[in-house]
Amino acid sequence: MNRRKLSNRNGVGHKSLKRPNRRLERDDVDTVMVSVALKSFVEAKRAEGLRDRTIEAYNEHIKLLMRYMGGDFPLSKLTADQIREYVNYMLYDRLTYQEDEHRKKKKKGLSANTVNIRLRTLRTMCNYWFLEGMISTNPMQNISQVKSDYVEEVPGLSPKEVKKLLNYLNDEFFGDYRDRLLIMLLLDTGMRINEAVNVKIGDINMKRSTVHIPSARAKNRRYREVPATLSVLQKLVELYHENESYFEQSEYIFLNTDGEPYSSDAFRKRLNRIKVDIGMERLSPHQFRHTFCREYLLNGGDLFTLQKIVDHADIKTTRKYIQMDEDNLRAQHGVYSPVNKYLE
């Protein structure tokens, strides 16, 4: 077995709520700072068993609001009118990727979907603060989600783009080879990236051709057995044994060049560098999941089986993944149009 180079090529290895019986004194309500209220909310959510990633998202969303408000501020300033001003700012004035210095292409206005995610976060927090007596009124009670006629499509990759990406990866380098197998796993199973990078050797069942996703690692806290192509699983086992020749023993399949578990953020950064090198507009881990969903359906798979494989709690979420581009639509129409039988 040829040993791969560990270094990279560049050498860089809406429901109203009842007033709570318990409340703060009026003066205290008016002076509770959002940073204090956030800490209380986070501690409560940790006690409920929310995952760290969800807690991080709550923190990040409030930091963005605080930045808009000019820093820490009393909760009493968070009125319905103030929130509507914030929504308009996000929709029409805020730059996309504003905090990312490496992003060259920035435009004004966030998508309705992004704004609605932040509104849901703020609604959850305001409900908690109101019930805990930290605010005397719930400013989110009459705030609606942003309406949009456009259904945002989850972009996937074309076969040409997938081949271009795989051709770029050089198997002489450990990082490239590892990323190739990770991409193949994502395209073969539709796993979420956090599920895929955390696959362990004990999760692989060669007899059943499945990968076990325990509830502790699943987004919806439901364990499942994900079907996988046998040849892909064999490659993963080979990678595991190859890891043993470089690093101390680890139960994880995907490792970085220091022998530590590979992270989803590290993979995202790698894809961001690669997309520049190969001239792609967009390249992210989630695109592989969408590509799997789209191709699964185009190849004859049914929607309900797909929902089970990719672990969607709601079939509406699965339907979102079947938005097809114009090439797909033309191809499907050419095969299935009823007029074909009359043109013979």
Q: What domains appear along the chain, each with residue ranges and CATH number?
A: 26-131 (1.10.150), 159-336 (1.10.443.10)
For range 137-155, the mean pLDDT: 78
Sign of the four-CA dihedral 288, 291, 292, 293: positive
Beta partners for residue 252, in sequence order = 200
Show Cβ contacts of residue 193 under 8 Å, excluding neighbours closer than 6 positions. Answer: 186, 264, 267, 268, 285, 286, 288, 289
Pair type for strands 210-213 and 224-227: antiparallel
Residue 20 has a pLDDT of: 43
Residue 21 has a pLDDT of: 43
In the sheet that holds 210-213, the strands lie side by side as 204-205, 210-213, 224-227
Q: Dihedrals φ, ψ of 173, to 5°? A: -100, 130
Would you say residue 24 has pLDDT above 50? no
Percentage of the chain exceeding pLDDT 90: 56
Would you say residue 227 has pLDDT above 80? yes
71-75, 175-179, 312-316: which has the minimum mean pLDDT? Answer: 312-316
The pTM assigned to this predicted structure is 0.65
Packing angle of the helix pair 52-69, 80-92 (nearest 10 deg):
100
Would you say residue 14 has pLDDT above 70? no
For range 15-27, the mean pLDDT: 43
